[in-house]
Each structure stands twice: as structure tokens, then as C-alpha cells.
Structure 1
């Protein structure tokens, strides 16, 4: 998109992928992160570091917001504490794309704060994790007006292989993401448990992986989890346990608000709680180590055993 300018707020595992693929598509990309190292890495790829959130929004056609919490998203977009937000510097007719996963109620509050600004707002959490972000193959769950989606579509297509419009109202994107994460988290923890059962029973790791991969259970979530387990990759895979734990708490909060029992997801969340307490620097798969410690066996390509 020659001549178009995009911004990215938050240049971590996910945001750096957004920026990379926007640059690849021909956008001029301005980025901001509180980490000087991330800003340096971003500049090395051809991006333009901004000195502040507000500066990243100046003259931008669209800005992606990839932060961790609702409070951070609100501060970035609406400003606060004496600092300007994107609302203060982005031109009318531009679009803000909230790709972070936060509470639907927080998104609705942000949308209300943008009312009258002339800036389009798209609530569009993503799925696909680190590989999807870096590879430009994310799935987007977008909620926004026709005009907003039309404005942002070239940028969205640069970072996503599949764009689903899940509604027009802010908050619906996050609601769909909460439902999705309750399922993914449950698939993960069921896979963790199955791997430990196999380990204790003396099953060959490679054999189990091949069977799961070619069965009806062999979805992307289960295969990714099992492969990381048998390769003993519990850190640095781009799927930190804190993110999944946060997402599961969002799903459980939504369920409590609506009076919906989520028995399986609740158990999964507690397993992630155990994992992040015991191994706070680990990725999702590290929950398996908690179970392995209990039974005294582990599954690896080198063979199951104690």
C-alpha cells in the first residue's frame, strides 16, 4: 500500500509480526513500545520508531493496538495521566484496530470514549499466536461498521489470512475470542493430561504424536501442544502461559456475567494457574511439567520414563 501509513502499538511477539507484514505489504509503519530493545529491532527491519503513542498516531491511516491489558488499551487509545492517546493525534477517517485480547466491557468503554472523534474503531482480537503473527496468517474476529472495515481492509489483509466479521458492535470481537479461548485452553490441558498418561504407561512419544495427528483429535492446538511436549520445549515458543491464563480468566468472567457454567474451561484455567505458579517463565506447555512431577514420568522423543 504505497503511500499509506500504519502504526503498531506494542512490538512484542505479536506486534512485531504485525509490523513486519505491514512493511512487507508496502505500508510506511510507525511503531511504539516501552522497550528500547524492541524499538531498535523494529527500526532494523525498516520501521519508523515513534517517541510516544501519540506520535505513532500522527498522520496514520490505521493503527493496530497490541497490548496486554484493558487498562493499557484504554490509555493508549484515549490517553490519560497527562499523556495524549491515539484519539488526540489520529486524523478523522482513520481507523484504530484493537487486536489485543481484553474484556468486552472494556472495549465498549473505549468505543464510548471515541464517540464523536471521527475515528473508526474495530474490535478485532486475533488467533494464530506467534507463528500466525510472524507469518501474516492470523485469524481476525472483527467487529465494526462497514465504513471502518472498508477503511482498514488493506491493512487487515496484510496481517491476516482469514478475516471474519463477527458483528458490528464493539465488544463482539472479544466475546467471540473468549468463547474460542475457552475451547483452546481446554484442548491444551486435555492434551497435557493425555501426554502424562502416555508417559506413565510407557507409550512411545513419536507413536502417540503420529496417532493423534492422524486422528479426529489431531487439531492444530493438540498437535502444537504435543509436539512441544515431546520436544521438551517449555519456554521461548512464543506462547507464554500468562497470556493464556489471562484469556481464560476473561472467558470465565464472561461466563459468570452471563450465568453460563463452564466446567471444563474452569478446570483448564486452574491447571494454567498451577503452571504459572510453579513455572512463571514458562509457556503454555509447562503445565505438563506440573503433572509429570506428580506421577514421576515424562514424554519425550528420547523415550518415556521416570
Structure 2
């Protein structure tokens, strides 16, 4: 069985590690937080002293960091994975970064003997912890076949969306455009209902059983009416970053993005006022403007 590794043991990475261990993979991980390393040990994983140590002790390594610069440092740096992994291993890039950054990483890895699987994920904290993530995987079929078991350990659905770096990230950018827009529309609808005197429970029942009902709408509205704006596993900074990536790609390709641009402004306002909040905290900005809150 392949040895697994995880770089970045936060809300998402800790879930990857937990499910790799649960499925019998010898798992080594690294994070800058000592508390997270201790948590990995308690799960049965092997805390590493550095990224290089993970590279030396794993055949397939998930990179779940926050941005492209971090991904490049972890993968390509002097003490990065490429310099320490054995030939034939794979870096599984599950972090969401700009497509062009993934392509740059792929180009830099060419000839290294290390495979790159560009596979951002969807499902958030519940999906990571429950092992039910959706993966958007881009790599040659032979590589995906070889590393499918280690990917199946953390996901419920693996979509093969391309054969090269950047293609997985492109699909994720399109997905986040839609999710961010749905969230933002839900925030606005909830405040409209609050100002009109509608009960949150009634709004939730209608939305969740209508054509507009979906995981994104239901989750957002339920958190709003229960006034859960922190510690739900969906930090506002992540969606803010992801929409930035979507709009950057749109600018690169010359595609107008009217709805996503509006969603970006809503998330920008939410992040400015509630930087430690979750996505749903954006609603509070609009609520403050109109002087009404939606409760269950």
C-alpha cells in the first residue's frame, strides 16, 4: 500500500489525514502548528519535523495550503517535496489556487520524475472530515489509475476533468463562481425576508423544498436563521480568496462576470467587517444596513 502524506493540517487537511489513516494508509503530516501535529499523532499519524521529512516518507502527498505562493514553496522550494520524494511519487494538489499557478508548478516539475495531480476539492469541512469530498482531478489517466486508492480514501466522487495542471483548478474556479453567487443571493433574500417580517423557519421550509433548494442555499440559510456566524468550518477568507481566483481567470480570458463580481463585493464587505467570521457573516453587514435580523 502507498504511503500517504499531508501538508497543511487545518480544517481540511486534518480531515484528509483522518480518512487516510482510517483507510489503512501509513500517513505522515506537517503543519506549522504544534497543536495540529499533536492532533495528528492522536489520530495515529506520524508528525513530521518539516515538509522535507514528509517528502522522504510518503509516495502520495496531499498539499492543502491556502494559496499559490505557499503551494510553490511547499512543492518546489529548496526543502520542498520535489527535492525529497522518491521517483514515481505523486503530489496531489488539493489546495485551491489560480490555474496559471498550477500550470507553473507543473512546468517546474517536468522531468523531476514526480507526478502532479491537480485536484482541488469541494465539500468543505464536513466533506473533508467525513471522507466525502468531490475531487476535480487532472492528470494522465495512468497516473490517476495508479493513485486512485489514496484518492478514494478521502472522497466520495472523483471527476476526471483533464490531463494536465491547471485544468482541475479551472473547473474549481467555475464552481466557486456559482457557489459564491448562490450564497450571496441567499444572504440578500434572507435580509429581505427579515425586513418584511417573515419567520426564518418558514423561509427555510419554502426554499429547501423549492427549485432553489440545494446544499448551498440550505446550509447558508440554516446557519443564518440559527445565527451561527463563526466556527462552522466555512471561513469567509476562503470563499473571498476563491472568488478572487474566479475573477482573475475571467479577466485573463476576457469573460464578463456580472453576478460573480457582485458576490465578490458582498464577500469583501463581510470579510472587512468580520474577518474571523464564516461565509454567513456577510448577511450581518446587510442586516446592519436595514436594521433587521432573520431568526428561526
Q: Shorter-chain-normalised TM-score: which range?
A: over 0.9
Does 2:151 align with 1:156? yes
Q: Is there any run of 5+ residues in structure 1 with no aligned partner, and where?
A: 302-306
Cα deviations across residues 221-269 of structure 1 (Å, max 9, x unaligned)?
0000000000100000010000000000000000001110000000000
What is aligned with 2:279? 284
The 8 Å contact of residues 28 and 57 in structure 2, kept in 1 or not, is answered as: no
In 1, Cα distance between the equivalents of 2:7 and 2:101?
18
1:126 pairs, out of 121, 126, 141, with 121
In 2, Cα distance between the equivalents of 1:236 and 1:180?
23
What is aligned with 1:266? 261
What secondary structure, in the 3-state scheme, does the structure 2 residue paired with 1:31 have?
strand
1:275 pairs, out of 270, 281, 286, with 270
With 126-135 and 143-152 compared, the bigger mean Cα shift is at 143-152
Runs (4 or more) in structure 1 with deviation over 2 Å come to none
Does 2:56 align with 1:58? yes
Equivalences, count: 296
What secondary structure, in the 3-state scheme, does the structure 2 residue paired with 1:121 have?
strand
What is the Cα deviation at residue 120 of structure 1? Answer: 1.1
In 2, Cα distance between the equivalents of 1:59 and 1:148?
20
What is aligned with 1:67? 65
In 2, Cα distance between the equivalents of 1:152 and 1:203?
50
What is aligned with 1:4? 2
The 8 Å contact of residues 142 and 173 in structure 1, kept in 2 or not, is answered as: yes
Does 2:85 align with 1:90? yes
What is the Cα deviation at residue 204 of structure 1? Answer: 1.1
Does 2:74 align with 1:76? yes
Cα deviations across residues 31-88 of structure 1 (Å, max 9, x unaligned)?
00011111111111111000000101113120000000101000101114xxx11001
What is the Cα deviation at residue 4 of structure 1? Answer: 2.8
In 2, Cα distance between the equivalents of 1:161 and 1:4?
19
What is the Cα deviation at residue 151 of structure 1? Answer: 2.0
What is aligned with 1:41? 39
What secondary structure, in the 3-state scheme, does the structure 1 residue paired with 2:153 have?
helix
What is aligned with 1:105? 100
What is the Cα deviation at residue 148 of structure 1? Answer: 1.6
What is aligned with 2:205? 210
Cα deviations across residues 10-43 of structure 1 (Å, max 9, x unaligned)?
0000000000000000000000001111111111
In 1, Cα distance between the equivalents of 2:295 and 2:43?
36
Cα deviations across residues 104-149 of structure 1 (Å, max 9, x unaligned)?
1111111111111111110000000000000000000000012221
How high is the TM-score relative to the length of structure 2? 0.99
What secondary structure, in the 3-state scheme, does the structure 2 residue paired with 1:86 have?
coil
What is aligned with 1:239? 234
What is the Cα deviation at residue 199 of structure 1? Answer: 0.4
How high is the TM-score relative to the length of structure 1? 0.96
